[in-house]
Chain A
Amino acid sequence: MSAVEVSGVTKTFATRSGLVTALDDISLTIEKGEFVSLIGPSGCGKSTLLRLVADLDTPTSGSIEVFGKTARQARLDQSYGIVFQSAGLLPWRSVTANIELPLALHGVAKPARRARVTELIELVGLTEFANSYPEQLSGGMQQRVAIARALAERPELILMDEPFGALDEMTRERMQQELVRICAETGAAVIFVTHSIPEAVFLSDRVVVMSPRPGRIRDVVSITLGDARGEALREEATFFAGVTAVREALHGAPVSTGSTSKGAARGVDSR
């Protein structure tokens, strides 16, 4: 059984100027423990696809299965954790209380809750900020709290909608590094929406490249960088090759038939 099975999904929205097809006949399988990025220009429906998997919206046609269940059942069973572009923390709750929220909502007893939250805060490296409030944290720290919250119930699937989109480049790279570590520790499958090519390549096993109007899957690029992904990887030729491959898929046709070095130079320029 795969983690997510999207088959023939179409999503249309009724707008004032008529029907807009956000997603057109999307089929995609994500295996357990796999890290898959969705990348594409604005309006390609990548966030919409994520929301459909999360059952925050329902597809117009087609079906979505999460761990063999309907998306709705998976949501009701809390089979996934979710992280949005804005951290979405409740400003009147401390870091601890924010991470605890899903556990409290689902009736986990207080001692068990506290123990789990202590673990999670340690996992995201915020132990000394356990009693701080969101407004006292930087954007990167807030997003780490959101990630900890998403992990609270040990989901085997994590949905991330441009979680680092609002962060500066340095923080962003550090967060990607942390995410690699966290994913290795939890073994969860991840669907990661982004519009940063290097980010997608650095994190993913596969990068799904999408095109807009109507939203379609243009290509799926496998990234074979292995599991040990450290800072050094960002300067390696294999990483640049991946960046080039995604870039070319994104632009529709090979921009160059190019040598690695040429592709590498382009990869560095991107973003």
Chain B
Amino acid sequence: MTNTFVRRVLPPVALGIVALFAWELLVNLAKIQPYLLPAPTAILKQLQIVLPALWSATLATGANALVGLVAGAIVAIVFALLASRIRVIDELIAPIVAAIAVVPIVALAPVLTNMFGATSESPRRVIVAIVVFVPVFINTLRGLRQVQPVHRDLMRAYAASNWQLTRTVTLPGSLPYIFTGLNIASSLAVISAVVAEYFGGLQNGLGSRITSAASNSAYPRAWAYVFGAIVLGLVFFAVTLAIERLASRRR
């Protein structure tokens, strides 16, 4: 236990600390202006000051990312299940997914803000759901198509229903693929929840705090909020990984 800790956790932490020291040193020695790059100590000081605001902004963005992630992933998995089973749906969905994949958040955010109103949480959540949909859908569909012929024969020999085939063979077999999609989607969810706030709508999340701090030339404060976004993204990623570990142990 301690051994794995020493080997796997210590090196990256040590590297991070060294990098922070180098950063601090660089900023002080080269006299880099705060609007270019603030020193870690300055960011830390701001972090302590804005901590309550940072916490509530992180919660707001985190809630949006979570709702969008869950909704987008569920819709993606359901549609992938349908597409894997019904050919017509597959052919109908494929071009739409390709179109969704290239929708720019920049274009969508103002439109949705108008649609739902500036005081609604929904626009950001819809954006997150749309962004999440694509990687989860594509990976899930690929996984669902990986059924071995021998398993298909076996389930036919057992006179298993379509739903039994899905539940006992297809879905468990595609779990690794689904989680590949979710791992990508979890980081995308946080990024898009933050970025969506840059384009109007309710101003209670990390994205709006970052822009307003930056526009007030409070660069260390902006960085403090960026730090919050990074931590939030890591939490999402780690939780998805943990769920994957659990699921693959007992699927």
Interface residues of A, Cβ cutoff 8 Å to B = 51, 54-56, 75-76, 78, 80, 82, 84, 86, 88, 90, 92, 101-102, 105-106
Q: Are B164 and A105 in contact (CB under 8 A)?
A: yes
Q: Are A56 and B156 in contact (CB under 8 A)?
A: yes
Q: Are B158 and A90 in contact (CB under 8 A)?
A: no
Contacts of A80 in B (CB 8 A): 157
Q: Are B153 and A56 in contact (CB under 8 A)?
A: yes
Supplied contacts A75-B157, A78-B158, A105-B168, 8 more A-B pairs, CB within 8 Å: A78-B159, A88-B151, A88-B154, A90-B169, A90-B172, A105-B160, A105-B164, A106-B158
Contacts of B248 in A (CB 8 A): 92
Residue B148, interface by CB 8 Å: yes
- CB within 8 Å: A-B pair count: 43
Interface residues of B, Cβ cutoff 8 Å to A = 148, 150-151, 153-154, 156-160, 164, 168-169, 172-173, 175, 248, 251
Q: Are A90 and B150 in contact (CB under 8 A)?
A: no
List the B residue with the shortest CB-CB distance to A82: B157
CB distance from B160 to the nearest CB of A (A): 5
CB distance from A57 to the nearest CB of B (A): 10
List the B residue with the shortest CB-CB distance to A86: B150
Contacts of B251 in A (CB 8 A): 92
| Contacts A56-B153, A84-B153, A90-B168 given; does A102 touch B148 at CB 8 Å | no
Top-4 shortest CB links A-B: A88-B150, A92-B251, A82-B157, A76-B159
| Contacts A90-B172, A92-B251 given; does A84 touch B154 at CB 8 Å | yes
Contacts of A92 in B (CB 8 A): 172-173, 175, 248, 251
| Contacts A101-B168, A105-B164, A105-B168 given; does A90 touch B157 at CB 8 Å | no
CA distance A86 to B152 in the complex (A): 13
Contacts of B148 in A (CB 8 A): 88
Contacts of B159 in A (CB 8 A): 75-76, 78
CA distance A173 to B26 in the complex (A): 73
CB distance from A98 to the nearest CB of B (A): 10
CA distance A55 to B164 in the complex (A): 19
Q: Which of B150, B168, B175 contacts A84 (CB 8 A)?
A: B150
Contacts of A90 in B (CB 8 A): 151, 168-169, 172-173
CA distance A51 to B153 in the complex (A): 9
Q: Are B153 and A102 in contact (CB under 8 A)?
A: no
| Contacts A88-B151, A92-B251 given; does A56 touch B157 at CB 8 Å | yes
| Contacts A90-B168, A92-B251 given; does A102 touch B158 at CB 8 Å | yes
CA distance A167 to B246 in the complex (A): 34
CB distance from A105 to the nearest CB of B (A): 5
Query: In this complex, which of A54, A82, A90, A92 has the most chain B Cβ atoms within 10 angstroms of its Cβ?
Result: A92
List the B residue with the shortest CB-CB distance to A103: B158
Q: What are 16 A-to-B residue pairs whose CB atoms are below 8 Å?
A: A56-B153, A56-B156, A56-B157, A75-B156, A75-B157, A75-B159, A78-B158, A82-B154, A82-B157, A84-B150, A84-B153, A88-B150, A88-B154, A90-B168, A92-B173, A105-B164
Contacts of B168 in A (CB 8 A): 90, 101, 105
CB distance from B172 to the nearest CB of A (A): 5
Contacts of B169 in A (CB 8 A): 90
Contacts of A78 in B (CB 8 A): 158-159
Contacts of B150 in A (CB 8 A): 84, 86, 88
CA distance A86 to B150 in the complex (A): 8
Contacts of B151 in A (CB 8 A): 88, 90
CA distance A82 to B164 in the complex (A): 18
CA distance A86 to B151 in the complex (A): 10
Contacts of A51 in B (CB 8 A): 153
CA distance A60 to B148 in the complex (A): 26
CA distance A213 to B160 in the complex (A): 34
CB distance from B192 to the nearest CB of A (A): 32
Contacts of B157 in A (CB 8 A): 54, 56, 75, 80, 82
Contacts of A54 in B (CB 8 A): 157
List the A residue with the shortest CB-CB distance to B161: A105
CA distance A90 to B160 in the complex (A): 15
Contacts of A75 in B (CB 8 A): 156-157, 159
Contacts of B164 in A (CB 8 A): 105
Contacts of B160 in A (CB 8 A): 105
Contacts of A55 in B (CB 8 A): 156
CB distance from A116 to the nearest CB of B (A): 15
CB distance from A220 to the nearest CB of B (A): 26
List the B residue with the shortest CB-CB distance to A54: B157
CA distance A90 to B248 in the complex (A): 13
CA distance A131 to B33 in the complex (A): 63
CA distance A55 to B158 in the complex (A): 11
Contacts of B158 in A (CB 8 A): 78, 101-102, 105-106
